[in-house]
Amino acid sequence: MVVLILIAFLMSFSSCKKEQVKVVKIDSDPQGAIVFIDNDDPVETPVEYKFTFGTHFITFRKEGYYDFVKKDVEVNEDTTSISATLEPMPTAEEIEEMN
């Protein structure tokens, strides 16, 4: 009886899913962008970040550039890097020239 209880106890641990994680390089052009990942604390590019497998929401932000948003970023065993090219905002002089 004790053996059966012990076996059942051990089997309950084997059915627990271990959360899978992957370290992924995050970069931007230009570098130095602040990156917000799933509402976690922000990080600055370039950086290596530990993701859990699954879908993530990522925002790249840098002063003088438009935000770059990546929705539904899938991280799995094949993911090695995530990057973004930020588009510069027009300068005050460029805006004046447009008018």
Closest by CA to 82, choosing from 93, 90, 71, is 71
Mean pLDDT value across residues 86-99: 86
pLDDT for 3-54, tens place per residue? Answer: 555 555 555 555 556 789 999 999 999 999 999 999 889 999 999 999 999 9
CATH architecture of residue range(s) 19-85:
Sandwich (2.60)
Residue 53's identity, in one-letter code, is: F
Cβ-based neighbours of 64, under 8 Å, separated by 6 or more: 88, 89
pTM of the model: 0.75
